[in-house]
Structure 1
Amino acid sequence: MSLKAAKEALLRKHYTEAIAILLEYCQDATDRNAQEYIQAQMWLVSAYQRTGRADKAIAICEEFQDSDDPQLQQWSRKSLGTLRALLDRDDDDRIKSNPDVASVIKSKPNRYRKSNVTLALAPKLQLYYVLAAIATVLIVLGIILGKLLWLIGLVELNLTAPWLTCAITLTVLISTVLFFMSPWIVETAQKQYNRTQWITLDDLDVIAPEAVVAIEKFCELRNIDIPRLGLIEDNSPVAFIYGILPNSTRIVISRGLLQLLDDDEIAAIYAHQLGHIQNWSFSIITFASALPQLVYLLHVWLSRVSFRAKRAKNTLRIVAGFVNVIYNLSNYILLPITRTSGYLCDRLAAEITGNPNAMTRALTKIARGLVSQNQVGQPTSRLLESTRVLGTCDYKTAIPIGMAFEILYSGQSEYNLYKVFLWELFNPWANWLEWHSTHPLISRRIKQLTNYANQLGLTSEYDFPLILSEGKSLNKIKLSKNFSRDLLIQTAPYTGLLIGFLLSQVFYWLYNNSAAAQSQHHRFGLRHYVSRQPKIS
């Protein structure tokens, strides 16, 4: 890597890219007193300062305090004064080129001076998570037990106590095997349509040094092994974690996400994944998603076979589509735990990094990235489909707010964005949408992250008090009536079919009973007539 490339990255304000180039250049440098090396270090200080890493910049400046070059000493002292004042004020301003964006985004990171902070969480969220975790495990066990009882019913009509005991025992054994095999199942399934490249912390440090610090601190405090880190060469912004034990987890992130986010935002995403380790949701989600992953793998295989097949092509496509429907329905098993753990992991991301604003920006950028990856008429990425429950957010429900951010960043009024916030926070249809979403709606997650920023005394990214005050003025009764009316209209075709089927069954039952009654009446009349006839001797 050359200094020219680093300079060009700095001029384009691609500070994360510049840091990666400069770090690689400095590692390869042999003469630490060369003017080029010193220039690279000075540019590193500037890049670290711009990305909110004053601590890294200070460490470099301190190395030059005892330099023999008076000008370098003077630069070092001056820079240290500026950086320390910047760190003390917790102020990291960024000049916004777009005035509309600047009016909505109040500060750049505006982060807390320390990481690993403690934030208050609504008790009901923790309770909901515990209930969701228990329910998810019970549902999976119930499905396995139900299938076994169905198989037993094919052999034995009467379910006796020994058969029931056998079914329960087999359920425990199958569930145990599935639990320990689930990471292998997920990894094997992913290999069929995504190639994962395993990287080290040193590799990640070149791209996102702050993420490395977050991972190392988290694992050191909890005395667990560093998760295995994976990288998928895909433009879709995706990050997910899987495993069954804290010492054997894998965190996989896509190239598209690394290119989309800044250093502190990447750290927040990694911290979010580490949050799954903290609350053990990663283990339950991996266990419960193993069977859906196999179903999706079957869908992919059938789709590929149908593409190459010369005969029965349409039949195979229909079967593949049906299997995909089963996969989407099977994801509903995980919705309660993925939605509740999403809030908990957002809080843990804010605690680990001390920077809830970074997680807020990461969510909004991911939403924007998903818009570009889900163009109308284009097939959805295999990576997005297969990791829908494992990922950071639901690509299906992130599109609306992603489009609002696209409009905002194109220079339009921020009111369009606030209308989306209002809709997701207060409209009854948003509850319906979230009911079918694998993760909480992004606006609701940003609301919680804004609360964490307020707890730390930080300037939040968005003016949620204004949004909430406007939301209080909405007519809730009118919204509910409109929702009921719209829901009735939307479901009318299906409701009509159901009512028609039920009425047909009722009329059929009435007709059969009426016919039976008439037949019985005729038989009774015939017997009465025969009994009254004189006997012929």
Structure 2
Amino acid sequence: MPSHAESSLEAGLVALKQGNYQTAIAHLEPLVSSQGNGTASLQAKVGLVMAYARSGKADKAIALCESLIHSQNPQVKEWAERALTHLTKRKKNKESKNLETGFVAFDNSRSNNPQAAASQKTKVAAVTPRNATAVPPGSYQKTFIEKPAVPPGGFLGAGYTQIKEFGIYWRQAKRAKVWQPLRKPNLIPLRLLAAGTFIALFCVLREIIKFVMGFINYTLVKLPYLEPLQLLYRDPTYFLMIVLFVLVVVSPWLLDWLLASYGQRELSKDVLNNHSRETGRVLHRYCQQRHWPMPRLRILPIAAPMTLTYGNLPRTARIVVSQGLLEQLADDEIATIYAGQLGHIAHWDFVVMSLVLLVTLPMYMLYRQVSHWGDKTNKIWRVPFTILSSIFYGVWCFLTGTALWLSRLRLYYSDRLAAEITGNPNALTRALLKIAIGVAGDVQKAEHTSWQLESLNILTPVGYQQSLALGSVAGHLTFESILTWDNLNPYRRWLAINNTHPLIGDRIQRLCQIAQHWHIDTELHLTNQQSLSKQSLEVTRQSFLLQTAPFLGVPLGFLFAGLIWLLWQTAFSLKFLNLKWIYEDWSFVIGCLLIGFSIGMVIRMNSFFPDIKSTNAPTNDLLPSLLANPSTIPIDSIQVHLVGKLLGRRGTSNSLAQDFILQSGTGLVKLHHISWLGQPNLQDFIGRQITVTGWFRRGATPWIDIQTLQTQGGKTIHSPHPIWSTVLAVAAQAWGAYIFLMG
């Protein structure tokens, strides 16, 4: 394909994406007549049909569709038939003026890498898969997740791997042309939570430091010829407080240095304008209103769409986006994401979150580096590296956990401000969903969760774990159905208590309310769904009580301890029984708490791990419906038998089984695995076809507790979740009884 034709095709598709239909027609019409039936010509024809339809030239769009029906490529032929049906119906109803057909939009964003850009030009979207949900004609515009580039020989040339398509329908709901400012939000909860996060981070760090100092001195005491260090016996409270305040002051520059190892670099305004002109206007207007200098713009060379903001003042703020976000989102969608980052600066929550990232990122880098060393050593030395990397990972999770509540709450505030700045809550809705789709696509392509996604997750607008199911099932189910659980389940917020991000459906519901407040159509119709029936609510309430039985056992154990103390005190006062030596110690309370937790575990056991009936019938097709059921919670323990590819990290970095994912024919789902001693390593089967039998659990992040995993070669791996749960319950019972009796 000549270079001038390539540039003309790219210019035409870019104009189509931006809504400049006359410009797109001017660039694409010459290609249709000059390129024959090659890949470029077919892409030009598809784009030209969409441009004609969107500009009101229905007759020309129909004529071109009729020619595409005779294409030798079956995908193009099917696509043209569907498009022609929509076009003719709209024309017959005399609504061609507002025609919005279900056509293909292309990924035409320009890459800084010339080879990547050339590859992007050869990409083509395909028709809706047979499992895609039918959509009323004229109500949606269809886009697709981009897949590996098609070779120049055709759409599916010889030796080309099969493309996996998902038809994604977008309403392309409009923005508000004139809108009133929203009511000023109450920032007091956010400010209090930010202060609480700082205190929690300080307390956790202090206890970790005191433990390490005590362990070092204990080791030195036990070793011969060595003396403990007196410095390590001092209280680190004041020193740690000073260090944290210093870190807050220097956080922008330290994070610049740390993220340089991720490939972070400056993002020029010209490059940003090539992807989104609106973003520059939004940044300039809002900063001018606030009398701020422009935030420094950065970019990460990461294919997954993501963004984060860090700094300590508006003038030191940095807004970082990934290359994937610029390439996979449209102009107005990118603008809303940047506006959301301005919200974090305006609300000042980015100061504490920057400190959290600055503290956790080095710990994650240590985990990654030690894992890398462990993979290079022999089996004998790998054990200590595995233990050390697991400790670093656990500490990273623990420190990250201090910011969970703030990480969730701040996104509600930033979404609201982003909608208010741009007047476009619908674009933000599309942006959040496209980020989830892009993250799921990145995990599928890499066949594991990248360390960039995991380590930076706390500051991103959409969590990588919540993206797995939502982003991968999007082509098999409407968004309204997928998000039903997020909107209707009465215990959804309790089940998201350990999540880093709020539920996507809950966020989009609020954006839809803003759109309705401004009297504009919504991207998703979530408000019309019916609430759960009273019978379903009652069943779900009983299930939730059973779900939380181990945790409810803790306060019940405390009440039991109080009752025991009262009985002992009464017996002592009546000179009937003298057990004062026990109840004055108060350690017996801990024993009661452990006993209560153990009893709750036993009560929940049978419902949490019901017997699985042997079956060979795969249940892959049930996964979308399981995700869409709004009344299920993890305790429901739905039996599944899924076939797919095992994804996950290899080596020491996955020693805790933290990254195992099943890629089935209908989506991605997280796997929970507990290994048995002497069993084959589950990592040996990564990238291979497997059959998983286990219990599907619908929570804020859906997952499967594995019972058995079978390979095509006949090897079977058992994951003894019920046994280990029983061991935990018995151990807690025995320990509690010992403390209770011995004090």
- The answer to whether TM tops 0.5 is yes
Distance 1:429 1:5, change over 3 A: farther
Deviates more, 1:298-307 or 1:390-399: 298-307
Q: Which of 171, 174, 182 is matched with 1:119 structurally?
A: 182
**2 CA distance for matches of 1:213 and 1:473?**
50
Post-superposition offset of 1:350:
0.4
* 1:191 corresponds to: 260
* 1:267 corresponds to: 335
**2 CA distance for matches of 1:377 and 1:197?**
23
* 2:16 corresponds to: 15
Post-superposition offset of 1:354:
0.7
* 1:500 corresponds to: 730
Residue 184 of structure 2 is aligned to residue 108 of structure 1: no
**1 CA distance for matches of 2:446 and 2:191?**
40
**2 CA distance for matches of 1:112 and 1:471?**
32
One-letter code of the match for 1:431?
R
**1 CA distance for matches of 2:742 and 2:290?**
70
Structure 2, unpaired ranges of 5+: 24-49, 56-96, 104-127, 129-133, 141-168, 218-231, 549-603, 609-634, 636-721
Q: Which of 421, 424, 439 is matched with 1:355 structurally?
A: 424
Secondary structure in structure 2 of the residue aligned to 1:100: coil
**2 CA distance for matches of 1:403 and 1:164?**
53
Post-superposition offset of 1:424:
1.5
* 2:294 corresponds to: 226
**1 CA distance for matches of 2:365 and 2:498?**
22
One-letter code of the match for 2:322?
S
* 1:255 corresponds to: 323
C-alpha RMSD of matched pairs (Å)? 3.8
Q: Which of 419, 423, 428 is matched with 2:481 structurally?
A: 419
- The within-5 A match list for 1:163-202 is 167-192=236-261, 194-202=262-270
* 1:299 corresponds to: 367
Residue 415 of structure 2 is aligned to residue 346 of structure 1: yes
**Contact 1:371/1:403 (8 A) holds in 2:** yes
Structure 1, unpaired ranges of 5+: 23-45, 52-90, 156-162, 409-413, 514-537
Distance 1:309 1:474, change over 3 A: same
Secondary structure in structure 1 of the residue aligned to 2:476: helix
* 2:696 corresponds to: none
Q: Name the structure with the higher helix share.
A: 1
**2 CA distance for matches of 1:276 and 1:92?**
38
Q: Summarize deviations over 1:506-534 as a string: whole Å, max 9, x none.
A: 55468879xxxxxxxxxxxxxxxxxxxxx
Post-superposition offset of 1:400:
2.3
**Contact 2:18/2:331 (8 A) holds in 1:** no
Q: Which of 204, 224, 232 is matched with 1:143 structurally?
A: 204
What is the TM-score when the length of structure 1 is the normalising length? 0.71
Q: Which of 91, 96, 109 is matched with 2:102 structurally?
A: 96
**2 CA distance for matches of 1:218 and 1:282?**
17
Q: Summarize deviations over 1:329-365 as a string: whole Å, max 9, x none.
A: 3211111111000000001110111100000000111
Post-superposition offset of 1:143:
2.9
**2 CA distance for matches of 1:172 and 1:284?**
14
* 2:308 corresponds to: 240
Q: Which has the larger radius of gyration?
A: 1
Q: Which of 523, 538, 545 is matched with 1:461 structurally?
A: 523
Percent identity, aligned pairs only?
25
**Contact 2:306/2:321 (8 A) holds in 1:** yes
Q: Which of 356, 377, 388 is matched with 2:457 structurally?
A: 388
Distance 1:142 1:8, change over 3 A: same
Q: Name the structure with the higher strand share.
A: 2
**Contact 2:300/2:322 (8 A) holds in 1:** yes
What is the TM-score when the length of structure 2 is the normalising length? 0.52
**2 CA distance for matches of 1:373 and 1:506?**
46
* 1:332 corresponds to: 401
**2 CA distance for matches of 1:140 and 1:252?**
24
* 1:522 corresponds to: none
**2 CA distance for matches of 1:218 and 1:420?**
35
Q: Which of 464, 469, 476 is matched with 2:537 structurally?
A: 476
**2 CA distance for matches of 1:92 and 1:127?**
46
* 1:42 corresponds to: none
**Contact 1:271/1:349 (8 A) holds in 2:** yes
Distance 1:287 1:94, change over 3 A: farther
Greater RCO (Cα-Cα under 8 Å, separation 6 or more):
1
